[in-house]
Structure 1
Amino acid sequence: MESFDKAIEDTITAINTGALRARDGTILQTSRGKAFLSNISWRRKMNAIVDLLRALRERYELAVRSDDIHLGSVNGGKQFYCINDCQLGAWFDLTRVEILKIFSEICDEAGISNELHFPRHRRSWRDW
């Protein structure tokens, strides 16, 4: 789950500054951030994506503190988690879908081919 939080942080940084970083902090590539977008509509949409990403991080941190998300112990470099609130899990999924939708709109408007398809395979304890 630390990787989840770090990935969101790195994505926000990449959008804002144009700096693409590896998980260890090494800069992989630099470009210009969203402030340099000349299309105001795209800039607004990128601002909305950043806002949604920040909301994801804040809600994740709150959920961990309130035990709505239970983090298990690390075993062999892996850690399990359990979302104890079905509505919270649905909110995370819907927010992720909204981010992808907005980004896809920008790509379509820019004429950039995008294959952003991230199917969600829902499983519950009943599936086991």
Structure 2
Amino acid sequence: MKKIKASFLKRFYLVTYHFVRPKLIVLQANFSGDESFIDIRYWLSRPDKINHKITPYLLTATNQRLGLMHFSKFGAVKSQLRKHTNNGIILFYNKDHAVRKGDKIALYWDGFKIDDIEVK
């Protein structure tokens, strides 16, 4: 009986999981360092639906595009999206201190667009 119930629950989860719309929710947007970096913490409902090869970027109120922080040895600073991990971190370089505390920014990432993110 337990095997049948477990099998049913597993199939029910797999079927209902595929009908969930992919959503990206920004949990926090904070400065790191001496306001040279913007740390975005996010939650993604369907990590399997996002393309890893498309790099995210921020757009400021003055339409300046901010890219990811890159290290020469390690590459871009972002958490690896795994199939069962929904939380992640992205680190952006705040070039010339384009964003100040309290400014609103927009995050663009593989078809997702989130406006009015306030940086604290």
TM-score, structure 1 normalization: 0.22
Q: Which has the higher contact order (CA 8 A, sep 6+)?
A: 2
* Greater gyration radius: 2
TM-score relative to the length of structure 2: 0.23
Higher helix share: 1
